[in-house]
Amino acid sequence: MILAAWSFTAWLPELAAVLGVFFVADLVYVIDHYFVHFNRDRYRQTHARHHRRYNGARGGQPQFDDFELSTYNSAGFGLLIAMSVMSLFTGNVGFVLGAALKWVHSLLFHLYQHGWWSDTAVRVKPPPRPRPSWGLASARYHAWHHSNPNDDRFTYAESWAGFDRILEMLHPWLVRFTADARKGRLHLLKQGQGRRP
Ligand SMILES: [Zn+2]
Ligand SMILES: [Zn+2]
C-alpha cells in the first residue's frame, strides 16, 4: 500500500504532463476548428471534405484521404517533435507521451466513426442532438458535428465537451475575429448553411 502510494506520487509529474499536453493540444485543435467553420474559403478548401466523407457512402473508400491523413499526421508529428524536445530538456517523459496519445486519439476517433471495427458505421444511425454537456466528447457527440456542421450547439471538441460550452459563451464576442465576420459574410451562414435538425 505504501509502495503503491509512493509509486503514484513518483509518477505524478509525468501524469500531469501527459494530461496537460493532451488538454492543450485539444484546445488548440478546437479553436482552429471553430475558426475554420467561420471562414468560408478555408472551409471549402480544407475542411468541407471531412464533413462530406463521414456523411457519404462507406463503399470501400479509405478511412482518410491523403489530404486528411497528411494534415492529421503532420500536426501529430510536429507536436511529437516539439514535446520530445520538452522531454529531453525536462527529463519528464510525460510530454512526449501526451503528444503521442493525442496523435493516436485523433486517428482512432475518426476510424471508429467510419465504422472501422463495427459492421454499422455511427453515421448510419444518426445520433440524437447531443446535450450541452461538460463531460467527455464521445464519438457520437462528434458524429453529430459531421452531419450538422453549423449547429448553434457547438460540437467542435474531440476530447472535452466543456471547450464547446465555453466557446458558445464566448461566441458573440469571438465571432467578430473570424474571417467571415471580417468580410461581412456571417449572413451567408445563416441563410445557406443553417442548422439541419
Ligand atoms: Zn470529424
Ligand atoms: Zn468541422
Residue with cell 451567408: 188
Ligand nearest 110 Cα, by number? Answer: 1
Mean pLDDT of 31-54: 90
In this model, does residue 197 exceed pLDDT 50?
no
Confidence of residue 192 (pLDDT cuts 50, 70, 90): very low
Ligand nearest 107 Cα, by number? Answer: 1
Burial readout 147-170 (b: 16 or more C-beta within 10 A, e: otherwise): ebbebeebbbbbbbbebbbbbeee
The whole-model pTM stands at: 0.82
Confidence of residue 74 (pLDDT cuts 50, 70, 90): very high
Mean pLDDT of 60-88: 86
In this model, does residue 66 exceed pLDDT 90?
no
pLDDT of residue 193: 46
Mean pLDDT of 118-140: 77
CA distance linking residue 98 with residue 21, whole number of Å: 5
Confidence of residue 60 (pLDDT cuts 50, 70, 90): low
CA distance linking residue 137 with residue 159, whole number of Å: 5
Q: How far is the CA of 10 from the centre of ligand 1 (A)?
A: 37
Confidence of residue 141 (pLDDT cuts 50, 70, 90): confident
Average pLDDT, the chain: 84
Instruction: Name the more confident of 65 and 116.
Output: 65
Q: How far is the CA of 1 from the centre of ligand 1 (A)?
A: 43
Ligand nearest 106 Cα, by number? Answer: 1
Q: How far is the CA of 37 from the centre of ligand 1 (A)?
A: 13
Ligand nearest 53 Cα, by number? Answer: 1
